[in-house]
Amino acid sequence: MTSHTLPKLPYAYDALEPYIDAQTMEIHHTKHHQTYINNLNLALEKHPEFSDMTAENLIKNIGSIPEDIRPSVKNNAGGHLNHTFFWTIMRPPTEKGPEDGLIKTVNSTFGSLDGFKDLFTKTALTRFGSGWAWLSVTNLGGLEIHSTTNQDNPIIEGLVPILGLDVWEHAYYLKYQNRRQEYIENWWKVVNWDQVTENYQKAVENIKPNI
Ligand code: MN3
């Protein structure tokens, strides 16, 4: 049986300064993300036959997880999956935006990159309580902006996330307190658009022709 472990960040805790501060990054990674992993491992100890499944597969097959641990697996495998993803779609600030097929689809779907950012920001702002805002690829290859509650992941709805924003207060409270809008506006400066473009290409390639 293998247990889930905390992935290393692909950059230093202070790499996203001044937009996301080092203390927030360190606590978010070593305390919040680690706690999801600890609680997931604890739940899976009761049913070790599921301990070799990835967080993604646990979420995709949540209906077949035993009922006594299902709520815990849903929250904690979800938290592990979401945060593992979140770290990869940020990087030290650059001027680079989305490229190739992604920027074309963003423009044709939302009018412009700014139009997309406005709508995504609005979605992230109006997510009541704790949750995430997402840009996902639909099963027809289109782009959809949406939000989820708690640690739910778009794959539950049959969507493939390519960009996600954590709007739990723990993601921004130390620096921004209640100012979620300011957090979101500054977060755009550290989005890793190369990774998001790659996520888009992979998601589109994986769509099976529906013939
Ligand atoms: Mn978080």
Same domain? 201 vs 107: yes
Compute the mean pLDDT over every residue in the chain, rounded to the nearest whole number: 96
Predicted confidence at residue 209, as pLDDT, reads: 64
Ligand 1 centroid to Cα of residue 82, in Å, is 8
Same domain? 132 vs 172: yes
Percent of the chain with pLDDT over 70: 98
Same domain? 41 vs 115: no
CATH number at residue 54: 1.10.287.990
Q: How many CB atoms lie within 10 A of CB 2?
A: 9
The total domain count for the chain is 2
Query: Which domain does 187 fall in, by range?
Result: 100-205
- State whether residue 192 is helix, strand or coil: coil
pLDDT greater than 60 at residue 52:
yes
Q: Which of 61, 88, 115 is the last residue of a domain?
A: 88
Same domain? 40 vs 127: no
Q: What is the pLDDT of residues 141-152, one digit of tens each?
A: 999 999 999 999
Same domain? 162 vs 110: yes
Same domain? 27 vs 83: yes
Ligand 1 centroid to Cα of residue 138, in Å, is 24
Average pLDDT, stretch 128-152? 97
Confidence of residue 207 (pLDDT cuts 50, 70, 90): confident
Q: What is the pLDDT of residues 70-108, one digit of tens each?
A: 999 999 999 999 999 999 999 999 999 999 899 999 999
pLDDT greater than 60 at residue 138:
yes
pTM of structure: 0.96
Ligand 1 centroid to Cα of residue 53, in Å, is 22
Q: Assign 3-class secondary structure to 30-94.
A: HHHHHHHHHHHHHHHHCCHHHCCCCHHHHHHCHHHCCCCCHHHHHHHHHHHHHHHHHHHCECCCC
Ligand 1 centroid to Cα of residue 96, in Å, is 25
Ligand 1 centroid to Cα of residue 211, in Å, is 39
